[in-house]
Every structure is written in structure tokens, then in C-alpha cells.
Structure 1
Amino acid sequence: RRGLQSEADAARVEPAELVHDMGPVAPAPRRKIIVVVHDLQRHGAQYLSLNFVSTLHSVFGYEVVTIACGEGGLAGRFSAYGKLIDATPGRVSAGQLREAIAALAADGYTKAVVNSSASGWMASHLADAGIDCIGLVHELPEIVEAMQLDEGLRSLDRHAKAVVFASSTIRDRTAKEVLGHDWSQSLIQPQGLYKRDGIVTLAEKAPARQRLCKELGLPATARFVVGVGYGDRRKGVDIFCRWAIAAAVADPRLHFVWVGALCPEMEDVCGDILRDAGAAGSNVHLVGFRNDTGLFYAAASAFALTSREDPYPSTAIEALDAGTPVFMVAGTGGIADLADTGAVTVLSDEASYRFVSVLMKLLGDGDALVRAGEAGLEVARSRFGFRSFVGDMLRLLDEPVPKVSVIVPNYNYAHHLPQRITSILGQSLPVWEIIFLDDKSSDDSLAVAQKLLHNCSIRYRIIENAQNSGSVFAQWQKGVDLAEGDVIWIAEADDWANRDFLATAAAALAASMNTLPNASGVLFRREALHHVLTRHMDEIRSYRVAGDWCVYALLGLTGKFAYDPRPMNYHRRHAESVTISRFTKAEWDEIRGMQAFVAELAEVSEDMRDRAAWYLDHLSKRL
């Protein structure tokens, strides 16, 4: 830790020895990984792969090789992040492919991610070269059958360390209808949202709606339902048009906007539907492909997911990230798994009257619409961080990427939050989730935190206490109870960290139990910290300035500590801090009592006792 303080404050140091700045952490060699994609066309799964590759390279620091099983317009984009190997059947022979993969293995590429069933056939070639792989399966049985991908799925089932599905629907249906048995090693993990273009608060939706009204030349009273994607039969753009006509008849203020090009077949089908609809047809707007989809999501009151088959479309999550509730038909895809959140409505069938009935009920209840929008924002932020997803995939390959939950306890530190949160988001070893706990601040901490975390690619939650807890340690325990990671970093809101802090501390943690010293400079194993906080909270809360020492002392009974003297966490000393704001005999008595407590728990040398006594005498001069 490096304390930043004035000369006047220099005497008010905590009991830690000064160390020389040992310089930056030496850069570790880049680890190596392979990503297999079925082709390089400009479609959803390929963009997922591209963002996966870019995140591995630019965020996690990997040297990435992409193996493409087909050509396409994204070749240049993939090549920007590392070597691109062509494995197109018919262009590259089986012998050439085996030779290329063997060369990669010899060069230290021993792990691979195979994205999609269409790339699954590569799993056997990787296994032959001794390369471990995981598979990501997005396709439902209808697509598997139409594209003859069943052998790819069987290859993944035989050779992959794990096969990852966005939802249980995809896993269960492919197991039953394609494999004929359960998957050998399966995991449910939605893929994360790589395109973040959401809103900060629901207050942004009304201005977005007015902008879209102006763009489309509609009255300010218009309300929007949107659909997004390439409009083919699978996406159900014809269903979208039928829903739109029925809704417009029920309420002429409703306008339906489809964002995306239509295939020739659907141009004809939808054209016939709209011509037969009479005046209601003018309430349907087919605007074609647009890059600025964020405007449409934000302006919409609802998102119509009309796909006949869509395993886990990112467009639905993008809608939730804009506070827009989703409507879909049962049995068409995995987004139905989110129905229990209140942000997704699942209809029993595609009947237009059923959709209109449920839609009108929601739009007619302002409070319910707000609740659904807030639920969507919470789901998108807390479950769909793309960096978090990439870290999950690396852990499946036994890569050294700890699952770190960062807890940020805050009370009236809005002015310190930009530096605090930026230093968390900028860690060279990405964190898995951020839990921001506000203890009923009277400043604008909540708004500042939301603005800073907005559209970050890490899972996060912002939680405000209904009333002040009166104890930072109560916030610690609340955060640990909420955390889903294996490792806890309590990043105090008024501190900040070097970008290599987490990488350095995590390396020490891999061999030891916990790291020390001050709270922001410590990584804890979640189970150990949860055990201590749960069993000893009353004792810990009895201290005003020494509660963290109490935690460390009790943790010392559970295992070892690791300590790295390099100054990588920055502890801010200021007038509002607990340690500096008041120091009376009560605080002095706490420290003396803590010294006695530690002496009871462990053998303390005479030299250490003398130094502790000197410190007490030093502090007494402040009284």
C-alpha cells in the first residue's frame, strides 16, 4: 500500500514498514489459445467469435490463433488480433490441416475454444494433437438437421472438456433429438452481451421515443414496438407484421418498427400482409439495416421476439439493456429462461389476439411497465458481462483466471468514485463481477457509479440500502453474501489500485490463503471471509477503527497470508476517512485491545511486542 498524505499527516501512519518502490510488475509471457470459427461471414455467431478473439487478445492478454472453417468478409477483422488459419474443407486437405494443428501444438497452443456446431468437426483434429477444447453450441435441432451438423455435435460430445449452452432448452433438445443421450460434459452459460448500447436510466426512454417520432414523421403520442434482425422466415418477420396489424387496430398510436433487411421471400410475404391490412398497414415501418439500433431499443415500449426458432438471440438482451420488455412464443428459444425475472413475457402460441391482449395490459399499467423495464436493466447488467463470460470459458480450460467478485462499500464518496471504479475496470486481470453497495449516501454516489459502470463489459450490480447500516462491516458481509465469485476484493470507495494489482495479488493467492494489508489491498477466498464475518460479526462491529484488523486476525486462524511489498494499492488519507476523522482515547483503547487479542491468538516475539508498544506510545501523542 502507498498512503498519499501531507507532511503534517506523515506522522499519522499505520503500523507498516516502509518499502522501496520495487518498480512495475515484469510482464508475463502471453499465454496462447486457439479459437475455431465455422466461417468469416458477417453474422451473429461470427461476430460473437470476433469479439471473443478481441477480448482474449486485448483484455486478457492472450496470443490468439483463429482457425476458420470457411471464408467471409470478416477475415481482416480477425487477422488484426492474430494469425488466421484457413481450414475450409475442399480447399485445405485433411493432411494439411493435421500438419497445421500439430505445428500449433508444438508452438505451445494447447487450449482451444470451438464456437458453434458447424465447427464441431474440428474437435477430433484438436484432440489428435493433444489440444484440449471446449465447445459452444448455439443451434437448435431444426438448424442442426437443415445444415447437417449432427456429426459436429457428436465430435464435441466425444472430445470437448465441456460443451457450453446458452440455455437448458438448447442442451436438452440437442441431447434428445440429435445425440439420443445426455451430453457427456455440459454447462449452461449465456454468452454475454458484446454490443453494449443501452441506457443508464429509464428516464432516457421518453427523449429517445420523441427522436424516433421525429425521424419517422409520426405524432409525439406514438408508441413503439420493435423487432431486430435479418428478416427471414426463421426470424418470423411475417408474424411481426401480423402482430403489428392486430395491435394497430386495437390502438392506432402503436407503431411497429422492424430494423434489418428482409430476405426476398419475406419481402413478398410481408408486402402482401401490409397491403391487405388497409390503414393499419401504415403503422408498420420496415426501415432496413441500421447501425444505430440503440435508438430503436431505447425508444421502444416493447420488443417483439417473433422468431420461430432462435436459441439465444443477443437482440433480446440488447432490448433488456435498454429497459425494453421482451415478448416471445414458448418453445422457440432460451430467452424464455428469463421469464421469472419479470422482463420477459412468454406467450403460449403466436396468435395475434393473445399477443395484443398481453401487450395492451402491460402498456396500460405504467407502474408495471416501469417494473418490467427496471427488471430488464438489472438482468442485462448483472448476468451478461462479456468479459465475465470470456473469463468463465478460460476457467473451463483450467486457465489461471480467478473468478473475482469486487465489493465496493460506499458512503458519500462520489468525488472519489471515478478514480476508484476506473482502476477496477482497468485491471490487467479482469474481474468477474462488481457489487457496488451504497450505504444511503446523501451525495450523488449512485448516479456517478451508474454512469461509470454503464456499458462496461463486466457483470455489475448497484444496490442502495434503505437506511444507513451504521457499519462498513455490515456492508462487507452483505457483499460477501451476494458475491458469486471464489475470490473477494473489498475495494474501498476512497482508494484506488495500480492496473496490475489484481494480477499480482491473485498470483500470490494461488499459493496461499489470503493477501494483506489494508482492506483495498487484500484478496480473500470467499469461503474463509464468509466464515469469519458470519461467525464473528458482533465482535467485528464492536470496533470503530480496528474491525478490519479483527477480521485479519481471525482469518489468520484459517490459513496462510501472502504479502507482496510492491506499492500497487493506493490508500487515500483524508479528513472524511474513519481513521483520520477522529482519534480519541476510545480509538487508542481499541488498538491496544487488538494488540492484546492478537497476542492471545499467536506467538508474538519480544521484538514485535516492543514495536507494538512503541506504536501505542506514538499514537498516545495524538491524544
Structure 2
Amino acid sequence: MHVNKKIIYVSHDAHFHGAQLLFLHTIKALKENFDYSVAIISIGSGILIPDFQKYGPVYCLEQGYQTEEKVELLIKDLLSQNFTLAICSTVISGDIVALLARQNIKVVSLIHELPHLIQQYSAEGKAKNIAEFAYKVVFPSQYVYEKFRTITELDPQKCHILPQGLFNHNPYKNNIAKARNELRKKLNLPLDSKIILGVGFADYRKGIDLFSLISYSVRKTHKDIHFIWVGRTDVQFLNTLPPKYKAHFTLVDPTPDIGLYNAGADLYLLTSREDPFPNVVLEALDAKLPVIGFKNAGGFEDVVTEKTGALVDFLNLPKMLEKIYEFIHNEGLRLQKGSFGQELIEKNFNFLNYIYQLLDLLEHNYKKISVIIPNYNYEKYLPDRIESILNQTYPLYELIFLDDASTDHSVSTFKKLLSKENKTHLKVQQIINDKNSGSVFKQWIKGVSAATGDYIWIAEADDLCDKTFLQEVIQGFYINNNITLSYTQSKQIDEQGNVLANHYLNYTNDIDKEKWKAPYFRKGVEEIQDI
């Protein structure tokens, strides 16, 4: 598959909030995992601009492109560089969507807002631009889609529901006990304290007033329960809250170590009045944290269910209190709901899968390749082998490392090699046998069973490959949908990787001297019968 790997990505600003962090991780994945050139347009400024700049040139419209004419010139300049595709984040980018579309740039628009916020920013006109000019419109949930339709008419044929997936990997995910101790020490709390967490911009929409009222009500009788809110604050709104309410929860500035708070808390309290599909909910569930929120407050109802937490009637604080007490005093119930939540995230919210889906909407149809690496005592070959896999010009969906009870340092070597790579969102599974299986084919079957991609590449650990291997071998699947197996000619190499011969034709000449010198398609049954 040959596509133009240049894309414009538009953000409404670069502040440290959910939609902007999603933007950052999307451009990171496009660059690192798919090798795209990304031109970044940020309508407003913000602290994430330096992070955006790691993945492409940034054009901040409020700093040098304040008029529509200047923005049009910028778009025409990018078009002259063959940037013919765009992804635009949030309704606020609606005017840019129109300008891009008028230059015949194909636009996928991502909607993160609900009606109250759209109206608050007087962005109804921008929403109409998106409805008219976007090639595709993506919503994180059916709820957000239905609400957007109350703002403007919308062609349902161009609309798609794509939950964004989890982009933050929690380093404490498999060490909850450590996180609990570290968090309580960090906050100077007793080690047996209970922690109820909230995360996000502390304002009216996120319900910081409700969070403070709940904390006041709980801590009147339960001093061992502590309420923590992590995020920036709407200072003006916060100052309107009665001091007695504000005194019962702790505000923590935004931190890159949010994984510690999720893994170390006991419960996540979502007091939002309106929240389309918050990343913070995915992060909480991934850390086995049950979530309590309101019904009819956002698209998170798709993931916050009776199995992963609880939803109470909108703004019903007494019922919310009841659920808090029910969960906080029943560790078994919390663990049950938390475990189900984590399983749900792992199964359905792979971030790289979200990027594949976005690119598919732009007709960049990548196959999802699961790379299975069978290994037994191949420690010395792993550095070159892993490098040859990760340097492929065609994207990888996941790596599955199968170690058949190696007696060398293969497992630790693999972990070190992966820690140095920059493909952050690549899904990696490590399946380590306690006892040697005695059969490479059993290992293959185990790998295939664990794979979640669409196509399997068995990449033996003691082998090497050219960086264009996948790019070439996958072509058959694009040409003919009936293809189930594709392979290439191989070079013969010794233990040091030196080429002994450029092919294996001497091994097949007694069958056919010409057949394996050129590409061909054939029915599998006929191929086997002839051989």
C-alpha cells in the first residue's frame, strides 16, 4: 500500500486538558508508529506547544496568523507541500475545517463537546461548518452524537462512533500495593486512609462544587476518608464556594505522575454535570478504580456501568453518598468492579486501534500485524532481531514475545530493548513459559491464540529482515482479498548475520527452477498438490 503520509492536525489550543492530551498522543502515534509527517496547527497557545513540536512544525494561529487571509495562505502553503489530509480536534476548530475543505483537503473532525459547552463558547456556527464541510465526523460515544444533532443538522452517513482508547500507560498498574503506600506518604496520610479521587479542570462543568459538598458531608463523620482533586482550577468559581466545603478536600496541581493517584486511590468520583467521554475515566478503570458518576451527564455511560461502578440519578447527591459508603466499606465489591473495569479497558480501548480507525476513515487502510517472536536461548541475536522488526517501514500493531523457558538472559534482554524504543503505543505481550514446551509449533499456536491483530507474522528470534519486508509481503493481501498466506524469498546467513547466499533456489531447483524467481498467486490446495 502506497499512501501520502502527510497530514495536518488542528487543535483548538495547547493547554493541559483531556482533548489536548489526546491530540498530543495522536500526533505522537502518527509520527512514531506510522511514520507520518505531521503539520500542527494550534488555534491558541499553551504549555503543550513544546511537546507538540517534538512531532512536527507547529503553527500557532494567535501568534502570527490572526486573520482569515493569513490562515488561508498557511493552508495553501501546506497544500503545496502535499499535505492533502487533515484531522481537526474539537468544535472550536470548525472555522478551520471550512477553510481546509475549500482547498479540497479531506478533513476528519473529532467532536469532544456537548451542547452546553458549545453554546457557552457561542460555537454553534463552528458546529455547522463541521456538519457541512467535514468529510467524516467522529464522536466518542452515541450520547455525544445524539446531543450534537440538537445543535445542527448532520448527515448520518458521514458520522462515526469511535471511543478514543487509553493513551496513558500506568506504570503502577501491576503494583497497586506500592502505589497505595507511595501516594499516602506523598500526601502525608496514614497508610490505612481511604482516598476518593477526582481529576480534571476544577470548574462548574466538572462539578468541583459538588465534589467539595460531598467531601464535606463524608468527612463530618469519616475522618479516615480523604478527597483529592488533581488538576488546574477555575479560581473565580472556586472562590464562590463556602470555606467550610473547600476545607475538606485537597487540590493537587496537574502532574505527569497521575498514574500514582489512580493506582493509589480507592474510588473515583465523577461529579461532572456534562462530560463527553473523559480520558480520566478510562485511566481510573485501567487502574482497577471503580467510578461513581451521574446518569445523563455524558458519553461515559458506555463504560461506567453496574459492572465497573455506579451511576446515580443526575445531581442526586444523597444517592451518590450512599454509593460511596457502599463501595468504600466493601473492599471485595471494589476489587470486583475494579477488575472488570480493567478487563474492559484492556479488551476494548487499545489506543493504537483508535489511530488505525482514524486513518481508515481517510482511506489509509493499514492491516493490523501481530508480530510473534518465538525465542529459546537467543539472547545474543535479540538486539539485531528486534531492531530489524521495529524498523519496518510498514506499521506494527503488536509484538508477542514467546519465551520457551530460556536459560540465558533472553527475557531481561527483550525488556531492555523495548524500553529504549520510541514506539510508545505499540501493544506488547510477553508470554514466558516456566517449562520448555519441546515444540516450536506449540509456541506458534500459543502466539496465534494470543494475537489480536488481523494478520500474523512469525518472526523467529534468531532471524533478520530488511526494513521493507512487511511493506513487500503485505502487498498480496491488498491485491487479492482471498489471500491467506504470503511469503518471500530469503537470504542465507550465518550466526554472525553474514550473507552466505542471496536465495534458497538451490534447495528448490529440483522442484521448479523458475517458479520462485518472481511473485505469483495460486490456490493453496494446488500449491501443495504440486509439491
TM range (shorter): 0.7 to 0.9
1:233 is aligned, of 186, 201, 204, to 204
Q: What's the CA shift string for 1:558-596, capped at 9, x where partnerless?
A: xxx45253689x9x9xxxxxxxxxxxxxxxxxxxxxxxx
Does residue 174 (structure 1) correspond to residue 148 (structure 2)? The answer is yes
SS in 2 for 1:120: helix
Q: CA deviation at 1:240?
A: 1.3
Residue identity over aligned pairs, in percent, reads: 31
SS in 1 for 2:101: helix
Q: Distance in 2 between matches of 1:386 and 1:72?
A: 24
Aligned to 1:114: 88
Q: Distance in 2 between matches of 1:107 and 1:222?
A: 57
Which residue identity does 2:217 align to in structure 1? A
Does residue 396 (structure 1) correspond to residue 361 (structure 2)? The answer is yes
Q: Distance in 1 between matches of 2:379 and 2:322?
A: 48
SS in 2 for 1:121: helix
Q: CA deviation at 1:292?
A: 2.5
Aligned to 2:346: 381
Q: What's the CA shift string for 1:486-517, capped at 9, x where partnerless?
A: 4333456x56665836643455335555xxxx
Aligned residues: 501
Q: What's the CA shift string for 1:56-94, capped at 9, x where partnerless?
A: 233322222122333444444434433333545995433
Q: CA deviation at 1:233?
A: 0.9
1:565 is aligned, of 458, 482, 490, to 490
Q: Distance in 2 between matches of 1:510 and 1:388?
A: 19
Alignment of 1:476-487 (within 5 A): 485-487=453-455
Aligned to 1:318: 283
Does residue 362 (structure 1) correspond to residue 301 (structure 2)? The answer is no
CA 447–242 in structure 1, closer or farther in 2 if over 3 Å, else same = farther
- The question of whether the paired residues in 1 share the 8 Å contact of 2:393 and 2:471 is answered with no
Which residue identity does 1:333 align to in structure 2? G
* Structure (1/2) with the larger helix percentage: 1
Aligned to 1:144: 118
CA 252–178 in structure 1, closer or farther in 2 if over 3 Å, else same = same
Does residue 95 (structure 1) correspond to residue 69 (structure 2)? The answer is yes
Q: Distance in 1 between matches of 2:88 and 2:109?
A: 5
Alignment of 1:37-56 (within 5 A): 37-56=11-30
- The question of whether the paired residues in 1 share the 8 Å contact of 2:33 and 2:395 is answered with yes
Q: What's the CA shift string for 1:172-201, capped at 9, x where partnerless?
A: 1112x1124553411121223333234242
Which residue identity does 1:124 align to in structure 2? A
Structure 2 residues not aligned, in runs of 5+: 498-522
Which residue identity does 1:300 align to in structure 2? A
Q: What's the CA shift string for 1:414-467, capped at 9, x where partnerless?
A: 9899878887666553323457899999999999999999995235678999x9
Q: Cα RMSD (Å) of the superposition?
A: 4.5
- The question of whether the paired residues in 2 share the 8 Å contact of 1:114 and 1:133 is answered with yes
Q: CA deviation at 1:362?
A: 2.9
Alignment of 1:584-603 (within 5 A): 601-602=526-527
- The question of whether the paired residues in 2 share the 8 Å contact of 1:158 and 1:184 is answered with no
- The question of whether the paired residues in 1 share the 8 Å contact of 2:11 and 2:90 is answered with yes
SS in 2 for 1:339: coil
2:475 is aligned, of 508, 519, 531, to 508
1:133 is aligned, of 86, 102, 107, to 107
- The question of whether the paired residues in 1 share the 8 Å contact of 2:389 and 2:467 is answered with no
- The question of whether the paired residues in 2 share the 8 Å contact of 1:198 and 1:318 is answered with no
Aligned to 2:224: 253
CA 313–604 in structure 1, closer or farther in 2 if over 3 Å, else same = closer
Aligned to 1:36: 10
Aligned to 2:44: 70
SS in 1 for 2:274: coil
- The question of whether the paired residues in 1 share the 8 Å contact of 2:17 and 2:200 is answered with no
CA 364–459 in structure 1, closer or farther in 2 if over 3 Å, else same = farther
| TM-score, length basis structure 1 | 0.67
CA 110–182 in structure 1, closer or farther in 2 if over 3 Å, else same = closer
CA 40–372 in structure 1, closer or farther in 2 if over 3 Å, else same = same
- The question of whether the paired residues in 1 share the 8 Å contact of 2:141 and 2:161 is answered with yes
Q: Distance in 2 between matches of 1:242 and 1:422?
A: 54
Q: CA deviation at 1:237?
A: 1.3
Aligned to 1:265: 236
Q: CA deviation at 1:484?
A: 5.7
Alignment of 1:294-313 (within 5 A): 294-313=259-278
Q: Distance in 2 between matches of 1:360 and 1:443?
A: 51
CA 310–600 in structure 1, closer or farther in 2 if over 3 Å, else same = closer
Q: CA deviation at 1:145?
A: 1.2
CA 257–400 in structure 1, closer or farther in 2 if over 3 Å, else same = same
Q: What's the CA shift string for 1:13-64, capped at 9, x where partnerless?
A: xxxxxxxxxxxxxxx9982111122233443323332332233233322222
Aligned to 2:214: 243
SS in 2 for 1:35: strand
1:199 is aligned, of 168, 172, 175, to 172
- The question of whether the paired residues in 2 share the 8 Å contact of 1:402 and 1:506 is answered with no
Q: Which has the larger radius of gyration?
A: 1
